[in-house]
Amino acid sequence: MTPGARWQAVVELLDDVASGGTADAAASSYFRQRRYIGSKDRAFIADQLFRQLRRRARLDWWITKVLERGETAPPPAARHRVVAELVLDQRWGAEQFTRAFDGQDHRPAPLSRAERLLLEVLRDQSLDHDEQPNWVRGEYPLWIEPQLNEIFAGDFEEIKALNRPAPLDLRVNTLLGTREHALKLLKEAGIEAVATPYSPIGIRVKGRPALASQEFFRAGLVEIQDEVSQLVALLAEAAPGQAVIDYCAGAGGKTLALAAQMANKGRLVASDISEKRLERAVKRLRRAGVHNVEQRALTPDNAGWFKRQSGRFDRVLVDAPCSGTGTWRRNPDMKWKIGATDVAELGQKQADILQTASKLVRPGGRLIYATCSILPSENEEVIAAFLEHNPGFSVRSVQDIWPAIAATPCPVDGQYLRLSPLRHETDGFFAAILELKPL
């Protein structure tokens, strides 16, 4: 692809994301429909897509500032952001734009009047500017600023870390092998990797290697899974022979981890509101050698079944739907798609899910609640409200359980697992372990 064609692809993907699609889904669909695009071009386009999304607030600040000088000030659009990026970061001049933006052979159309103004004004500037407010420099929505300052005690470095690119983590499937063996195979394949700092079954890979082409990946020895997701599954302390339910199973990542802990022995149920997500997990389960999983969709048809399961599970894992504020490193587009109203609605939804799932816990069993949110309204406040109305449950400190699941010191001081990108080099994450009083 020519440079211009590459940038046209970035523009099209940014437009797709702006219309409501997620960045990952947009890129996957785009490349699936254009299999003729080579691997290097795909990597460039995907990298630039996410780079643009991580710089959106600063690019928009400049675009708004410049276009206000003109007769009209159109809202920032994908092409504006690409032009501003090329001028501010890559120092493109008029000659380069003339060659690459000519409307021929899949290249972008020539610069508009507004875009020519951006080129003229921004060519001597840099992306960062002293006049930019904190929410612009930190790349987050203005509405969430008071909460971020409270959560991180005004530490701006903690806030900025939410925008850093995230590493690629793998979980070793202990049904099929050990971490040491997986690291050896990765090294033999020329892939740089190290053990994760907290999860005893995790591996952190350098870069974005083509794992799908590796036989050990296709055979199910390793799965792509963030370290924090591995940790919350480990905190369940699921054991062979127990009855365990992954209540919000999604694509099945934690279900796979739980099955490995249980050594394929015992009863493991994966449930989710989406039957399609559960169906997609079947292939992963089969590849991983997992055969003790029963799937149950959270649909009206299964309401009677769930009612009959009251008090029958030793472990109930609730990885609740949330704002995803802790995953901004991986999903930078999502920060611009939620608002304060969305978070308030999610808090009520999380409380309802936790209350419903709690009925499945056996006396003496555990209810594990987790989110990939950093907001107390989705975490500590949900747990506090639940405990107030459910006196039979009490908090089991993460510090009490940690020595049994990892050889490293517990990364937190409090009773909950609350992790952050800056301090722990993980996604922002929260987990609480609740125990039901024995009979």
Residues 39, 37: Cα–Cα separation, whole Å: 7
Does residue 52 contact residue 14 with C-beta atoms inside 8 Å? yes
Pairing of β 361-371 and β 417-419: unpaired
Q: How many Cα neighbours within 13 Å face the side chain of 57? A: 20
Cβ-proximal residues to 124 (8 Å cutoff; 6+ apart), any chain: none
What is the pLDDT at residue 73? 59
3-state secondary structure of 17: helix
Active-site residue 410, yes or no?
no
The CATH number that domain 227-436 falls under is: 3.40.50.150
pLDDT of residue 86: 97
Number of helical H runs and strand E runs in the chain: 20, 12
What is the model's pLDDT at position 167?
A: 93
Please give, one letter per residue, the 3-state secondary structure of 14-38: HHHHHCCCCHHHHHHHHHHCCCCCC
- Along the 439 residues of the chain, how does pLDDT read in single tens digits? 999 999 999 999 999 999 888 899 999 999 999 999 998 999 999 999 999 999 999 999 999 999 887 655 567 789 999 999 999 999 999 999 999 999 999 999 999 999 999 999 999 999 999 999 999 999 999 999 999 999 999 999 999 999 999 999 999 999 999 999 999 999 999 999 999 999 999 999 999 898 989 999 999 999 999 999 999 999 999 999 999 999 999 889 999 999 999 999 999 999 999 998 998 889 999 999 999 999 999 999 999 999 999 999 999 999 999 999 999 999 999 999 999 999 999 999 999 999 999 999 999 999 999 999 999 999 999 999 999 999 999 999 999 999 999 989 999 999 999 999 999 999 999 999 999 999 8
Nearest to 242 by CA among 192, 180, 313: 313
Domain at 168-224, CATH class: alpha beta
The H-or-E segment that residue 263 falls in is none
| Cβ–Cβ under 8 Å, residues 361 and 380 | no
The per-residue pLDDT for 205 is 97
- Tell me phi and psi for residue 149, to 5 degrees: -65, -35
Backbone angles phi, psi at 323, to 5 degrees: -70, -20
Q: Residue 423's closest CA among 431, 433, 413?
A: 413
CA–CA gap between residue 81 and residue 62 (Å, rounded) = 9
> For the segment 273-323, what is each residue's pLDDT rounded down to a tens digit?
999 899 888 999 999 999 999 999 999 999 999 999 999 999 999 999 999
Instruction: Kindly state the DSSP code that residue 198 receives in the 8-state scheme.
Output: S
Q: For residue 353, give both structure tokens.
A: 């899910």
Beta-carbon count within 10 A of 77 CB: 17
Select which of 248, 322, 372, 410 is catalytic: 372
* DSSP secondary structure letter of residue 274: -
